[in-house]
Amino acid sequence: MGQEVGLVSQLFFGRDDAENDVKDGLLKGTVFRPNYAYTMALRGRKSLIIGRKGSGKSAICRQLSTPDGHQGASVLVTPDDAAGDEIRRFELQGVTADTAKSMIWRYVFAIHAARHLTAHARIAHGRRVPPSVRALRSFLRDSGESEEAGLYDRLRRGVRGLQSANLSLKAFGVEAAFGVGASEGARAGQQLGVLEDGVAAAFGDLDCAAGHPPLLFLVDQLEQVWTADPESHALVTGLMLAAKHVTGRYHGGVRTVLFLRADIYDTLNFGEGDKFHSDEIRIEWTREGLEDVALARARASLGPELSGEQLWSVLFPASVRGEPTAEYLFRRVLPRPRDTIQLLNACQSVADERGGTTITEADVLRATEQVSRWKLQDLATEYLVSHPFLRSLFVLFENTGYVVMRSALAARFEAHREELHRAFPAYTESLTPQGVIDVLYGTSFLGVRRGGDVVYAGGAQAPPLPGEEEFHVHPCFRPALNIATPVDAGPFEPPFQRSVVVGRAGLANITAGSDAGLAINRDQRLLNELVGACERLVRQLSRSGLPLTAREEIHAQIGRVAAAAGQARQRLADGEALDVNEHVLAVSGHFDHLAAQLGTHGFADRPVTLRLTDEARALIRLVGGRGGSSDSSP
């Protein structure tokens, strides 16, 4: 790389979505990284690729449609609003909505397969075309199914033909009326059966399955036509039924891969749903996988010689707030490529805008705050259809700490229950304390403490169980919610000095004999009592049962108070005049504040919380009440 390492202006991690990444061609190298879901789809082992928004479904889809992916022919189907409306409105008397929608999807697959076979037979099988292929060619001509026809026009013709039983089937030797007196659904099924028999015959006569890879149907971007109503439900379940049907119908000549957003798939509930478990695979990303994506994209913009060490130690700072940069960044996004790309590009943009030749720690911190705001907004948008109330739940966590116990979350919810039920009357069954926990966990907004770790939704993780009490806001969303610490303790600033800085050793060092040999006057006694209160609190804290992160935060706060007391004692010993009463009362108020904040996080009944309150009262008594006089003065 030489001197180019410092040219941050050349660094680019690509577009946010697979479609524009391919279309724009701004990256000079290959950026697609095969993951397990892609491998299983390519091998034909899995046909339902499920993932959250931005997890890389479309990237897998686009790669499968290229010669570098699936080696055979492929057809990409991406319904738009018009096509979605056509399918949602399609119904047939005598069959369920799922069955009706599956029939229109089967028609679409059959037409695409017929078009493929008529072109493929001429190119790959020579001039001697079997009668079955000639029949398909005639059918397409009689039906007006031109090569240029779009999905919407194809659907409209299929709807009319199946509902009125007038598909042009003369090419297959069928001219008589179907099922006189039968239901619409029965007649449509008979017509569709004739068409599919013709397609299957052509696949069999050409013996395509033995000679080359199957025709691959790829169906993507179904979220564009999803509205969470029964018709949308039937649209997707009908597609799944149709895909399974055609895979087994055409002598191994056809495969399907459907790409479904997890929030859509998880709402599906139909009788044959258990038949699809072996077909499904969920996209999961590890930190190592996302680092691989980041490096591949950086190399595509700067050159293949870029190493991981150069990326994370030269272009980026080696660490951020004491944490290795890669770990810091990847902990602060949801584990999916789109979020990673957006955060990395934001870091580059902040640095480039200020004219930097490398990305600094300050650039990373600023970009992280910016992306956090984006992601909080994006989360509400992602689940707008299934959980329209999600945005209104964020207020429960603003300006607090990121650790919250179940009881505290329930209390916060109860304060807003009436308002939420009034705003979202159709969702009152979901808007309960347990329902809110399930939704916030399912969207990865909250994680749950399990053993020594905090886990977030994804993979094989089970939802929170009733006995699980401790929840954490995901690091991705903390800056946007103004959450910086486990508990919103707020720093203690003594009245006589507003810039006290304490290291980890602060509490251990303050008992040194800084006042040795001095007369113990009232102010010194007050400060000694204050130090004693801190020591008692630390002992109580060690057996408090608080979450580790909260315990560390409270310990740091008490250490700050103790260090300030030690400094005050030294200043008194040096002959400086201080208002110790004011100082002790400020500490009392801070202890009260800590106890109150612990209470809002669900720790009101913990011994350390009660001890904080007791010590606050004792300090007030020592100075003679809020007025500041005491009978204990010498």
Range of the domain at 460: 390-481
Q: Could you tell me which of 159, 153, 188, 158 has the C-alpha nearest to residue 89?
A: 159
Specify whether 300 is located in the same domain as 264. no
Of 223, 255, 282, the residue that ends a domain is 282
Of 282, 305, 323, the residue that ends a domain is 282
Specify whether 160 is located in the same domain as 81. yes
- Answer whether residue 337 is part of any domain: yes
Specify whether 521 is located in the same domain as 585. yes
Token code pair at residue 472 = 């954490």
Residues 128-140 have pLDDT tens digits of 788 999 999 999 9
Specify whether 292 is located in the same domain as 269. no
Specify whether 375 is located in the same domain as 446. no
- Answer whether residue 498 is part of any domain: no
Contact 250, 200 (CB under 8 A): yes
Give pLDDT, residue 483. Answer: 93
The region that residue 47 occupies, defined by phi over 0 for left and psi between -120 and 50 for alpha, beta otherwise, is: alpha
- Answer whether residue 585 is part of any domain: yes
- Answer whether residue 631 is part of any domain: no
Q: Where are the alpha helices (DSSP H) in 207-270?
A: 208-211, 230-249, 262-265
Give pLDDT, residue 176. Answer: 61
Specify whether 64 is located in the same domain as 190. yes
Specify whether 414 is located in the same domain as 328. no
Residues 68-123 have pLDDT tens digits of 889 889 999 999 999 999 999 999 999 999 999 999 999 999 999 999 999 888 77
Cα-trace Rg, the chain = 33
Q: Could you tell me which of 449, 615, 420 has the C-alpha nearest to residue 548?
A: 449
- Answer whether residue 357 is part of any domain: yes
Specify whether 70 is located in the same domain as 199. yes
Q: b/e map of 277-289 (b: 16 or more CB within 10 Å)? A: eebbbbbbbeeeb
Residues 209-244 have pLDDT tens digits of 777 889 999 999 999 999 888 999 999 999 999 999
Of 465, 481, 497, the residue that ends a domain is 481
Give pLDDT, residue 29. Answer: 59
Q: Which amino acid is at 627?
A: G
- Answer whether residue 89 is part of any domain: yes
Give pLDDT, residue 390. Answer: 96
Instruction: Measure CA 138 to chain center.
Output: 49
Give pLDDT, residue 20. Answer: 65
Domain count, the chain: 4
Specify whether 158 is located in the same domain as 245. yes
Residue with tokens 């399955």: 209
- Point out the residues of the chain with pLDDT beneath 50: 2-5, 498-520, 627-634
Specify whether 48 is located in the same domain as 140. yes
How far apart (Å, rounded) are the C-alpha atoms in residues 69 and 243?
A: 20
Q: Give the SS3 label for residue 469.
A: coil
Give pLDDT, residue 492. Answer: 79
Q: Which amino acid is at 388?
A: P
Pairing of strands 215-219, 254-261: parallel
- Answer whether residue 441 is part of any domain: yes
- Answer whether residue 495 is part of any domain: no
Contact 243, 98 (CB under 8 A): no
Specify whether 418 is located in the same domain as 513. no
The residues, ordered by sequence, that sit 6+ positions from 199 with a Cβ below 8 Å of its Cβ are 110, 113, 114, 117, 136, 250
Specify whether 431 is located in the same domain as 541. no
Residue 329's alpha-carbon distances to 84, 194, 297, in angstroms, are 39, 57, 16
